A = this chain, B = another copy of it.
């Protein structure tokens, strides 16, 4: 069985087409940004966000090493993501990914919060193309993580089933709170 992150990437690969727009809502170390960059290709664009300078710098470095040129990096809260995308491009948004929690390798003081995360998921979900998908990798072992997890589960469970399919993909016999996936797909 696929682990959580490879499974999330598989889902995004199935929904993001070359030429699409994709969003990395929490670019972190840039690994997902690079994955999305390949999926949208030369004619597509990735919008990547993070509130931490350290994350923006690491992502920039990774993208430079790979000579990637189709990514726009913004150091801003992901709930404002739609402000950075032209309205005429909204219909091209094929997918987005969130990694909740803290930046790996950081001091763990800066974490995602339920209010900002839900606002961001909500605004991006509204703009997705038909069939487009948001993958949310939920880390929740840190302080504040349980609260964010519960708030997010409540939010996505309440999404109208006529408009969205919401999948939970979780390994449930593991210790140490491993991350699980929530996938929100806009129905066709």
Contacts and interface: CB of A to CB of B under 8 A. Distances in A.
B185 A172 contact: no
Given A1-B185, A183-B1, A165 B159 contact: no
Interface stretch (A22-30, A95-103, A150-158): A150-158
Interface residues of A, number: 24
Contact of A173 (B165, B170, B171): B165
Contact of A172 (B160, B168, B172): B168
A172 B171 CA distance: 16
A152 to B, nearest CB: 11
A173 B158 contact: yes
A138 B153 CA distance: 20
- Number of identical monomers bound together in the oligomeric complex: 2
Interface string A156-183: 1111110011111111111100000001
Interface of A: 1, 11, 133, 153, 156-161, 164-175, 183, 185
22 contacts: A1-B11, A1-B165, A1-B167, A1-B183, A153-B172, A156-B172, A157-B173, A158-B173, A159-B173, A161-B175, A164-B173, A165-B171, A165-B173, A166-B171, A166-B172, A166-B173, A167-B169, A167-B171, A167-B172, A168-B168, A168-B169, A168-B170
